[in-house]
Structure formats: structure tokens, C-alpha cells
Amino acid sequence: MIPLWLTPKVIKGGLLGIVVMTIFFTGFYIRGKLDNNRITKLQVALKVSKSNYDLCYENLQRSNDNWLELTGVVEETNAEVIRQGEEYKARVIQLRAMNREALMHLTASHNEAMRDMVAEANSLRELMQELSASEACHLAMEEIVK
């Protein structure tokens, strides 16, 4: 015999409760699986992000080292160029002073030679005025022979 408490309403309610509980617990089970998949994806993304961060940090360090090295080389090169420029300027000043000195010496030599030439020409004119034509020709020929 069927117990009295087992009426069709209770059976329907029980079945409905079982269906609702099945749907409810299936939702919990699926939600748990989705959350686990989501957590796994986020953990993978975090590991990838950390790996990318490490790679970027290494590249940044390497770039910084290269920049510091290049900056040092450029500063050394600039210092060398400045030093060579100063040496060049000093050499130009020295050469200009030597040129001025040489020009002054050349001018002095030229002026002295011109004075000597004028003095010699004047003495020759005076001598020619005093000498006869034959004596003047004789002296001219002696000068040519010298």
C-alpha cells in the first residue's frame, strides 16, 4: 500500500523540487567550471605579462647600457675634437706669427736691398759722370765678367 503522505501533490512538488535542485546544482557546477577556466586563463595571462615585463625590463636595461656607452664615447669624441680644434687654432696663430715675421724680414731685406741698389746706382752715376766713355765701358765689362 502507498503511504498516506505520498499524495500526488507531494509527488509533483518533490519532482519539481528535484528538477529545480538539479538545475540549481548544475548551474553551480557549470559556474564553478567556468570560474576555474577563467582563473586558469588569468593565471596564464599573468605569467605571460610577467614574462613580457621581464623581457621589456631586460631590453630597457640593455638599451640604457648602450645609451650610457654611446654617451661616453660621444663625450670623449667631442673632447678630442675640441682639443684638436684648440691645437689647430694655436698652430694657426703660430703660423700667422711666423708668416708675419717672415714678411717683415723679407720686407726689411727688400728695403735694405733697394737702399743698397739706390746707393750703388747713385755711386755708379757719380762715377760715370767723372769717367770717360772708354773707362766707363771698361768698368762695365769688368762688372759683367764678375
The answer to whether the CB of 128 falls within 8 A of the CB of 136 is: yes
Q: What angle do CA 135, 136, 138 make, to 5 degrees?
A: 65
Full-prediction pTM beyond 0.75?
no
Q: Where are the domains of the chain?
A: 79-146
pLDDT band at 138 (very low <50, low <70, confident <90, very high): confident
Neighbour count for residue 7 (Cβ, 10 Å)? 11
The residues, any chain, with a CB within 8 Å of residue 55's CB and separated by 6 or more, are none
For residue 135, is pLDDT > 90? no
Q: CA-CA distance, 136 to 121, in Å (whole number)?
A: 14
Query: pLDDT tens for residues 73-130?
Result: 999 999 999 999 999 999 999 999 999 999 999 999 999 999 999 998 888 788 778 7
State the residue for C-alpha cell 509533483: 12
Q: CA-CA distance, 25 to 18, in Å (whole number)?
A: 10
> Would you state the pLDDT for residue 47?
96
Query: pLDDT tens for residues 21-61?
Result: 999 999 999 999 999 999 999 999 999 999 999 999 999 99
Find the farthest-apart pair of alpha carbons in the chain and give their distance in angstroms, rounded.
187
The answer to whether the CB of 131 falls within 8 A of the CB of 139 is: yes
DSSP notation for 83-121: HHHHHHHHHHHHHHHHHHHHHHHHHHHHHHHHHHHHHHH
Q: CA-CA distance, 77 to 9, in Å (whole number)?
A: 99
> Would you state the pLDDT for residue 4?
66
